[in-house]
Structure 1
């Protein structure tokens, strides 16, 4: 996370909303062979746990249960040109939002894994309306159970939430508004909205 206190993101509800909206991130953990990472979809199971699954052949899958891990979600991000501030003596930078969830991992049983997979698909299928929602009932008999054997489910019990929201908070409002406008014009609407959110 960024060391400047101006960019420390403390709003847990907003961080959770980002994790839920993205729904995908990178899991990092130490293994006997060194640090490893995996890209995984994730879903909040409750206030302080996220669920995710890995291929049984993933380098992390054999050693993950009982270990501490870090799950990182990247939100909107954008390059910022110094020319956009309307101020002298600026440098290029990158604005971004990111959330780190740190905690211990436990393995899921089969029923919990099925509930997780159903939950992830239901969460994302709902966003595709008016498309009819996909469910595993559409699969031929026995196929889901066979595929389930290839993955392992886990829960990350969150002990620390860390967030960075670097959105020009250290710049005058006029400069921040100018950058947000340029980003919006370039189609970087997510980052532009985050910059504008903190302005009166």
Structure 2
């Protein structure tokens, strides 16, 4: 499973540039909002599944419970975050081409960098940002805010977690949506995915077609 090396991120205008790609990656983080943090501990490699929030200026924030195996090891360490987008199995029959093999189409983003522990004030601000961002997706629902909670109970829950911020030193997107197939073959496969309810991948196959 290797993406087409000729792939370029979808363009917002006539010319591709790094700002387009960075904006698309930021949008991916904002839309999915959940990732996996990988790091090595004295007891071996570990992974944590966490909600994530991009600050928009090159940092990724997340939190772990105090009892998580990674919590004590992460400060000062370089960690890896993986954010997975939509994925789906692709049957070779869908292309309408001879001599094809089954494959899997997917979108994923890897981020890595050093991690620092956040002060309590920063952790609370991050939690507010995370809730505000995700509550906004539920409109017209009235947004939840921590003002609805008992202050003592909220503080107790904050004390049970640790906030972290990763300085993103590398952005590594992998985009594999049959870009190496003819347009008609891609459309055939996308139509087949639509028919079985895998609409996100079908959309991506059309969106990420070679320009």
* TM-score, normalised relative to structure 1: 0.95
The aligned length equals 200
Q: Aligned residue for 1:53?
A: 63
* TM-score, normalised relative to structure 2: 0.90
Alignment root-mean-square deviation, CA: 1.7
Q: Deviations over 1:27-65 (max 9, x none)?
A: 000111111000000101232101100001000001100
Q: Aligned residue for 1:100?
A: 110
Kindly report which structure 2 residues correspond to 1:58-73, keeping only aligned pairs within 5 A, or say none. Answer: 58-73=68-83
Runs of 5+ consecutive residues of structure 2 not aligned to the other structure: 10-17
Q: 1:8: how far off?
A: 7.7
Q: Aligned residue for 1:151?
A: 161
Q: 1:198: how far off?
A: 3.3
Q: Aligned residue for 2:171?
A: 161
Q: 1:174: how far off?
A: 0.7
Q: Aligned residue for 1:18?
A: 28
Runs of 5+ consecutive residues of structure 1 not aligned to the other structure: none
Secondary structure, counterpart of 2:52 in structure 1:
strand
1:114 is aligned, of 124, 143, 159, to: 124
Q: 1:5: how far off?
A: 2.2
**CA contact 2:64–2:163 (8 Å) conserved in 1:** yes
Check if 1:39 corresponds to 2:49. yes
Partner Cα separation in structure 1 for residue 130 and residue 8 of structure 2: 29
**CA contact 2:3–2:174 (8 Å) conserved in 1:** no
Partner Cα separation in structure 2 for residue 7 and residue 152 of structure 1: 39
